[in-house]
Amino acid sequence: MTVRAQLLVFLAATFGTSLAAGFRDTRDCDQFVQECNAEFLACIGEPACIEAFLCIVGCGEEDVECSYICSMSALSNSEFADLMQCSADTG
């Protein structure tokens, strides 16, 4: 099973199929999984990080205000900051 498939199985089992489906439709998912795997795994272990991450995933693609509000909830969380930096760096 690929790392991407493992991530999708984990997301579906842990957070529901709608979250995993959102990733399945995203062409950048493979790059995110490859480039940000360590940061994502660290985030999963930190409740404030995963809560903010799930909040952002639930925002519409063009909903900057929603993403901003979600990000502010975890502003001081280093795992979240690392994950967001990696996500921005991978494009």
pTM of this prediction exceeds 0.85? no
> Minimum mean pLDDT among 15-24, 40-49, 72-81: which range?
15-24
Dihedral angle computed from the Cα positions of residues 53, 56, 61 and 66, in that order, rounded to the nearest 10 degrees: -160
Check residues 47 and 11 and name the one with the higher pLDDT. Answer: 47
> How many angstroms separate the most distant Cα atoms in the chain?
36
Residue ranges per domain, the chain? 3-90
